[in-house]
Amino acid sequence: MLRALICASALAIPLSAAAFTASDLNRLCTKTDIASRSACAAYIEGAADGVFNTIDAIGGTTGPRVGQYFCLPADARSQQLTDAVRRYIAENPNVAGYNASTAISLGLGKAFPCKTGS
């Protein structure tokens, strides 16, 4: 019986998993409690770091390169990243259904584009 319950649980997990969308991220980021604000900022920073490291692994991110979505200044603050992403989502309602990390990449690319020839 326990084995059947474990198997049923394992099969149910993938069916209930859904992508975290730009709309979900925006809802999280509009909440005013400290936990939600921290989670919003951490998600954006983590996704930005993940995108940066993925691109680095497939071709590098030192200076503007093909495929590099954004170039963050060394002194960029968490709130600047959050504001940039939220502004992008608000100005581009068509991205609401995109994966949140895609919207983050696009938003940061708009706010912090790489300068050519750097």
Query: Using one digit for the tens of pLDDT, what is the confidence trace for 2-41?
Result: 444 343 444 444 444 568 999 999 999 999 999 999 999 9
CA angle at residue 41 from 55 to 98, to 5 degrees?
60
Query: Can you give the three-state secondary structure of 45-106, one letter per residue?
Result: HHHHHHHHHHHHHHCCCCCCCCCCCCCCCCCCCHHHHHHHHHHHHHHCHHHCCCEHHHHHHH
Is pLDDT above 70 for 66? no
How many other CB atoms are there within 10 angstroms of residue 111's CB atom?
A: 17
Residue 118 is predicted with a pLDDT of 46
The pTM for the full model equals 0.75
Residues 6+ apart with CB under 8 A from 109: 69, 70
CATH class belonging to 19-111: mainly alpha
Averaged pLDDT, 63-89: 83
Domain ranges in the chain are 19-111
Element (H, E) at 15: helix 2-16
More confident position, 53 or 59: 53
Which backbone phi and psi does 23 adopt, to 5 degrees?
Answer: -65, -40
